[in-house]
Amino acid sequence: MQPSHLLGFGALLAGLWLLSVANGPSTGGAPSVPPLPPVANGHYVLVVEGDRDQLSITHASPKPDPWAGVPKGFSSKWTLTVQDAGGATLAEVPLDLSKFAVAAAEKGRPLKVEGCIVRDSHIAMLVNVPRFDAAATYTLTRREGDTVHALGTATGSHVRELAGSGR
């Protein structure tokens, strides 16, 4: 055997040894590799309607463009959380309800018009969220201090159905 073949064989054995050490003790199967996080497949434009105590997703429109993300520095006590079947959070999107009358005392009141500013206790808004094939639930919440109020939940299949209905 030529020295270059011996050197190559030695390097191969050393590489295999390093791989076995890096993966820990053998379990008899393939090394466990953590799954990659799901990748968004474009985004949805959702129509969210209701009031301060109950919100629902009433329409969905799929868009091929990537989700633009949360505006830098924006946070809200109102959120839409997308989770997979195992309960892992895929996305948490803060909702801007600053233009709506959402105080407890304003619930059910008719809209109020002051000049060109309209404040209504009925919420109807568009929400952009990443579209995940693995999405199992879309949950709308409001946080008040340490308490989180669930305002509505839609299944991933329901959102996909809304998006496929052509509305």
Is the domain of 59 the same as that of 119? yes
Residues 97-144 pLDDT 10s:
999 999 998 888 888 898 888 889 999 999 999 999 999 999 999 999
Note down the domain range covering 2.
Answer: 1-33
In a domain, 124, yes or no: yes
Residue 88 within a domain? yes
Q: How many percent of the chain have pLDDT more than 90?
A: 65
Q: Is 38 part of any domain?
A: no
Among residues 37, 38, 47, 36, the alpha carbon closest in space to that of 129 is found at 47
Q: Are residues 63 and 4 in the same domain?
A: no
Chain segment 25-70, per-residue pLDDT in tens? 555 555 666 666 678 899 999 999 999 999 999 999 999 999 999 9
In a domain, 51, yes or no: yes
Cα–Cα distance for residue pair 92/94, rounded to 1 Å: 7
Position with higher pLDDT, 39 vs 160: 160
pLDDT for 167: 43
Number of folded domains that form the chain: 2
d(CA 49, CA 51): 7
Q: What is the CATH number of the domain that holds 81?
A: 2.60.40.3250
Same-domain check for residues 1 and 78? no
Res. 23 pLDDT band, cuts 50 70 90: low
Residue 7 lies in a domain: yes
